[in-house]
A and B are shown apart, each in its own frame.
Chain A
Amino acid sequence: MESHSVPSRAEVFPVGLRVLVVDDDPTWLKILEKMLRKCSYEVTTCGLARVALEILRERKHKFDIVISDVNMPDMDGFKLLELIGLEMDLPVIMMSIDGETSRVMKGVQHGACDYLLKPVRMKELRNIWQHVYRKKMHEVKEIEGHEFTCDDLQLIREAGFEGFEERGFLTREDKKRKEEHSDQDGSDQSAVKRARVVWSVDLHQKFVNAVNQIGFDKVGPKKILDLMNVPGLTRENVASHLQKYRLYLSRLQKQNEDSALGNNRRADFSPKEPPAKPDLKIPPPVQQGTTPNSSAGFGFVAPKTETQPSKPISHFAEDIIVKKKGTSMPPLGMLLSFTGTIPNAEIKPSEPLTTLKHQTWTSGLPVMQFMQYPKHDHERCDLLGDYSCLPKPDLYTSAPSVISINMQNGTGNLLDVKPALMDCIKAISPLTCTVDGSTLGLDGLPGIKGCFLEQTGSNAEPGHITGSDLVPLPEDLHLYSSFQEIGCFENVGLMNSIDLFQTEVESSSNWCDGSELLDYPLIDECLFA
């Protein structure tokens, strides 16, 4: 795969799209691999349908899309197509030398999102990312459609959306931003000058104001753009941002619905919840009050100790607790917990909890705990789409793992978390989280091998994650370096839920960054992982 040394390129989806190519013809396999690499995709090849299935089953979240020939010797291509669609819910493109309408139709009937004729051309392959994107958007739409209240907007406003990137590349953009910013505030306006828009607090503020002014229902990118009157900002920037904003609000809305959770941001769901509409419950937004010691006033929502949800977690719960320090209304001061239901979740809820107990509070230190519920194969656990972005190993692996990340630096902010989260979400195998070496809470995480973000922990750049917070693409592997052993895990065992407990410790702008990052990466990763 081509190197990602060029930042702008690296930030652009669909670079890095992870493709699995299945073809029994070795010549074609070689050619396709080369072609896909030229598209800057990450390619895995496979000559047998059954092997492909195994690969996918084993690492289902490691791929974004599958391309397969119809005529495979060991299995009917259509059957493979069906299975992949069912089990992994990945978009599948069929290929064949035979372009007969009936065949093509059959492909579509079996769920193919496209049908390419051999010889396949580069331009056709360059476009395959649209299927991934479309699918994600589709999933997102399923959970959208909530009313957005003024409160939401308020929250958003306070939260700010620092570092809000266009579409899904927060990780890299983030990294880049962190590298470029010497201080936490970042360069709000200067970001605008850059080719890629960084949605600073101010910029987002303008955006939100414009939205409110227009009226959320009547809002449109052009109107917003005009109102915002920011030189250099394009309609596309706004459109993309608006999209994310909507998603965000949608998520908030759902969280707002879940007021049951106090500090225990874990929504309790009956496993029988219809998967189609996972309930997103949110603990009461504002400061939970139980924030133990956030020096910076970060509400530590989820108690890091026993208060950890001890409820049998039979479903997917993903709690992201973000509390803005100080202010009575944490920017994203709500526990965002997403719960999806896994009908037959074979999860051992207790383990993560146990692990959580291990996490010691370093006062004022943000702690991030990742508990991840494996996503049920057939469920769309709703984290604004695809939980698959979360590192979810097989449902059948045991030992839920909790990854605790202790951010030692006083200014730990979500920035740190975010990359980690981003990567957790993004990377299937390599889970990246910020890790503070000394307090790495990887207890009880058997078999965790991935890579984690390095936590710089330096005060100079609070919570900055250096380099390593990237998707574990080959190029990025070198970044894992010192934390390799600690922060690596792969195929985390049953991770029951992702709880992110963020205790903010510093300036709001930082926090905003973090929170925003925290939230959106999830979305983005879900969308674009």
Chain B
Amino acid sequence: MDYVHLRRQAASLRKGLFDQGYLDEQFYQLEDLQDDASPNFVEEVVTLFFRDSARLMANIDQALDKCVKDFNKLDVYMQQLKGSCTSIGASRMKTDCSAFRECCRDENIEGCMRSFQKIKREHSVLRQKLESYFQLLRQAGPVECATRPNK
């Protein structure tokens, strides 16, 4: 019973992520890829994403600190981050990355900074939500994941 409740919570959380635009269609793709051979695929990928994106963001932070005006470099980093966002369907982050790159193109350092702050926030929120989500899933029981489309 408790499992049912947990699963419902997880499902609700997941739905929210989609509804609010945190995640997009790509996340469905990841879920589709999950199978018996890799039962925790989605979580693994998400974990990988957050680890790697943290690294990329640290690079950007550093670049913003040191070479404030190196827009090319910033753009390259941001493209990497954006590419990474598309991997799990981190939709909001992706949009923010694009905004950042726009600022780079405009050589608007202020804009870049602001934009980057937003990215960091989004990143943090998304991470939190997804962590909760996976935790709920784990608690809800490994066998069945009610939130997942039947596969």
Which partner residue on chain B sits nearest A37 by CB separation? B37
B123 CB–A CB distance under 8 Å: no
Chain B, interface SS category: helix
How many residue pairs link A and B with beta carbons under 8 A? The number is 55
- Taking a contact as CB atoms under 8 Å apart, the answer to whether B79 and A97 are in contact is yes
Taking the nearest CB of chain B, how far is it from the CB of A461, in angstroms? 35
B115 CB–A CB distance under 8 Å: no
- Taking a contact as CB atoms under 8 Å apart, the answer to whether A25 and B33 are in contact is no
- Taking a contact as CB atoms under 8 Å apart, the answer to whether B33 and A35 are in contact is yes
Given known A-B contacts A31-B87, A97-B86, A25 and B45 have beta carbons under 8 A apart? no
Which partner residue on chain B sits nearest A23 by CB separation? B83
Which partner residue on chain A sits nearest B50 by CB separation? A27
The interface stretch among A114-122, A231-239, A433-441 is A114-122
Cα–Cα, bound, A466→B132 (Å): 53
- Taking a contact as CB atoms under 8 Å apart, the answer to whether B86 and A34 are in contact is no
A26 CB–B CB distance under 8 Å: yes
Which partner residue on chain B sits nearest A24 by CB separation? B80
- Taking a contact as CB atoms under 8 Å apart, the answer to whether A38 and B33 are in contact is yes
Q: Which of A1-57 contact B (CB under 8 A)?
A: 24-28, 30-31, 34-35, 37-38
Q: How many residues of A contact B (CB 8 A)?
A: 21
- Taking a contact as CB atoms under 8 Å apart, the answer to whether A31 and B80 are in contact is no
Contacts of A209 in B (CB 8 A): none
Given known A-B contacts A34-B41, A97-B86, A27 and B29 have beta carbons under 8 A apart? no
Contacts of A73 in B (CB 8 A): 80
B44 CB–A CB distance under 8 Å: yes
A98 CB–B CB distance under 8 Å: yes
Taking the nearest CB of chain B, how far is it from the CB of A397, in angstroms? 37
- Taking a contact as CB atoms under 8 Å apart, the answer to whether A25 and B83 are in contact is yes
- Taking a contact as CB atoms under 8 Å apart, the answer to whether B48 and A26 are in contact is yes
Contacts of A71 in B (CB 8 A): 76, 79-80, 83
Taking the nearest CB of chain A, how far is it from the CB of B26, in angstroms? 5
Contacts of A37 in B (CB 8 A): 37
- Taking a contact as CB atoms under 8 Å apart, the answer to whether A27 and B87 are in contact is yes
Q: Which of B85-111 contact A (CB under 8 A)?
A: 86-89
- Taking a contact as CB atoms under 8 Å apart, the answer to whether A25 and B29 are in contact is no
Task: Report, nearest first, the 4 A-B pairs whose CB atoms are least far apart.
Answer: A27-B87, A97-B83, A27-B49, A119-B26
